[in-house]
Amino acid sequence: MILKESTIKEIKTRMERYPSRRSAILPALTAAYRQVGHLDNAVYKEISRVIEIPYVEIAEAATFYTMFPKHEVGKYLIQVCHNISCSLRGADNMLIYMQEKLGIKMGETTDDNLFTLISVECLGGCSAAPMMQINQDYYEDLSREKIDTIFADLRAKAEEEGK
């Protein structure tokens, strides 16, 4: 089993509140994504068993929603906004800097499997641009110095957790 007991419980708790079982698809995808870090066929199959909706309907819905990576990503998924408000405040520069700093190109994952770097459309942090999301957290008013600190902190955190 991929999904943990706690994830399955969360999915079931949420499902019970809706007037229709189908409505639990998106909450289930969200819960699974937060636990696993990405979604794929194996995950859809488990969700299908939990909420008793055909697998194909889970996959059909999941493939519409771009927030969930559909393949394995690093421990930290860095999503940098490249839309207008962030671009006007230097998002392109931040992206170049992050690629240099991590030694990877857009869409790639670092060798230690810690960071995956992608750019995404507007995240609703426009008045604190440029900004990015790493896993569930927003990091705003980015600068090179701030990026250095954020990456260093995350590396330290990962090391701590690895012990």
Partner 1 sequence: MEQVFLKYIDDPNQHKIDTYIEHGGYQAIQKVFKEYQPTEVIDTVKASGVRGRGGAGFPAGLKWSFVPQNTGKPIYLACNGDESEPGTCKDRVIMENNPHLIIEGIMICCYAINAHHAFIYIRGEFAHPAARVEAAINEAYAKGYLGKNIFGTGFDLDIIVHTGGGAYICGEETSLLSSIEGSRGNARIRPPFPAVEGLYKCPTVINNVETLSSLPSIFNNGVEWYRSHGTEKSPGTKIFSLSGNVNKPGNYEVDLGTPLSYVINDLGGGIQNGHKLKAIIPGGSSTPLLMPDQIDTPLDYEAVAEAGSMLGSGAIIVIDERSCMVWVLMKLINFYAHESCGRCTPCREGTAWLKQLINRIENGDGQPGDIELILDVCDNIMGRTICPLGDAAVMPVRSFIQHFRDEFEYHIEHKKCKVETDYPFV
Binding site for partner 1 (CB under 8 A): 17-20, 22-27, 29-30, 53, 57, 60-62, 64-68, 82-85, 87-93, 96, 120-129, 133, 136-138
By beta-carbon proximity to partner 1, the closer residue of 50 and 123 is 123
By beta-carbon proximity to partner 1, the closer residue of 64 and 163 is 64
- For residues 43 and 114, give the distance between their C-alpha atoms in angstroms, rounded to a whole number: 22
Residue tagged 């860095």 (tokens): 78
DSSP code, position 141: S
- ∠ CA 93-118-90, rounded to 5°: 20
- Tell the burial category of 39 from Cβ atoms under 10 Å away from its Cβ (0-12, 13-18, 19+): buried
Q: Which residues pair with 144 in a beta bridge?
A: none
By beta-carbon proximity to partner 1, the closer residue of 18 and 103 is 18
**Closest approach of Cβ 79 to partner 1, in Å?**
8
By beta-carbon proximity to partner 1, the closer residue of 85 and 99 is 85
Comparing C-alpha atoms, which of 136, 104, 135 is closest to residue 117?
104
**Closest approach of Cβ 157 to partner 1, in Å?**
18
**Closest approach of Cβ 115 to partner 1, in Å?**
18
**Closest approach of Cβ 99 to partner 1, in Å?**
14
